[in-house]
């Protein structure tokens, strides 16, 4: 396995990269990590296209964007041995969940190999279509926005909202407590990105999240000026 790092990885810490490196005995897998992983793949493809045929799996780390942004799309038939992946985080803490992103014509052998690679590291895999935000963010962001709006409306206190979801539905965390772990400002950024990408009003960040984001921006400006 060859790892090309382009910026800081959201999925793997520096220490965790040792786990990936332990699988270097497989020279037919190439992994692009970091905030610029997709752009790095495109640059590699232009410079090293002749080596593409020797590989059986190429993985590109994603954030909220689509894999097709880097691989291209063609009449709903796109797909190859290039797959995307994103490890789900709660705040800055990576969870065991990895969303593996496939396109309509993705190679089944590559998907099976990617699953094996991540499961070897003790991670859990969910296969998802190439859509903005994928599974978790598409499901949870409207839910969190709704909870914040109910809090603004005075439906119940934050404590009672959380307790109701935990005791009534068996959720391990209520929405407000979960947002405390994730960070309101980060929620606002991610939800806003999806609102723009999908045109769905349910993703528009709730007021409290927008306020938190503005406070973060003001703090960043103050730090720059000091």
Is 158 within 8 Å of 176 (Cβ atoms)?
yes
pLDDT surpassing 90 at residue 19: no
Find the mean pLDDT for residues 127-144. Answer: 96
Give the chain's mean pLDDT: 91
| Whole-number Å distance between alpha carbons of 95 and 113 | 21
Compare 224 and 140 and report the one with higher pLDDT: 140
On the question of pLDDT at 21 being above 70, the answer is no
Q: What are the pLDDT digits (tens) for 98-112?
A: 999 999 999 999 999
Say whether pLDDT at 24 is over 60: no
Give the model confidence (pLDDT) of 28-82 as tens digits: 999 999 999 999 999 998 887 655 778 999 999 999 999 999 999 888 788 899 9
Angle, CA of 53, 2 and 123, to the nearest 5°: 110
In whole angstroms, give the CA distance from residue 146 to residue 100: 28
Could you tell me the pLDDT band of residue 15, with boundaries at 50, 70 and 90?
A: low
Which of 44-48, 148-152, 157-161 is least confident?
A: 44-48
Neighbours of 65 (CB within 10 A): 17
Rounded percentage of the chain residues whose pLDDT exceeds 70 = 92
Tell me the per-residue pLDDT of 166-212, one tens digit each, with 9 for 90 and over: 999 999 999 999 999 999 999 999 999 999 999 999 999 999 999 99
Q: Provide the whole-model pTM.
A: 0.91
């Amino acid at each position: 396995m060859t790892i090309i790092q382009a910026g800081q990885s959201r999925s793997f810490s520096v220490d965790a990269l040792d786990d990936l490196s332990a699988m270097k005995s497989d020279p037919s897998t190439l992994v692009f990590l970091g905030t610029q992983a997709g752009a790095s793949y495109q640059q590699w493809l232009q410079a090293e296209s002749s080596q593409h045929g020797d590989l059986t799996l190429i993985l590109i780390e994603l954030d909220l964007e689509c894999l097709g942004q880097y691989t291209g799309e063609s009449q709903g038939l796109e797909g190859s041995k290039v797959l995307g992946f994103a490890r789900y985080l709660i705040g800055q803490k990576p969870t065991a969940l990895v969303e593996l992103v496939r396109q309509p014509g993705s190679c089944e052998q590559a998907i099976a190999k990617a699953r094996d690679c991540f499961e070897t590291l003790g991670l859990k895999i969910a296969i998802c279509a190439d859509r903005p935000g994928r599974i978790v963010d598409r499901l949870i962001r409207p839910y969190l926005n709704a909870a914040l709006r109910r809090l603004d409306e005075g439906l119940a206190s934050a404590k009672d909202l959380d307790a109701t979801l935990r005791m009534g539905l068996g959720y391990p965390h209520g929405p407000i407590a979960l947002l405390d772990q994730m960070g309101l400002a980060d929620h606002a950024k991610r939800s806003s990105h999806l609102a723009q990408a999908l045109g769905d009003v349910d993703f528009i960040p709730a007021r409290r999240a927008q306020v938190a984001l503005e406070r973060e921006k003001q703090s960043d400006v103050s730090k720059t000026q000091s």
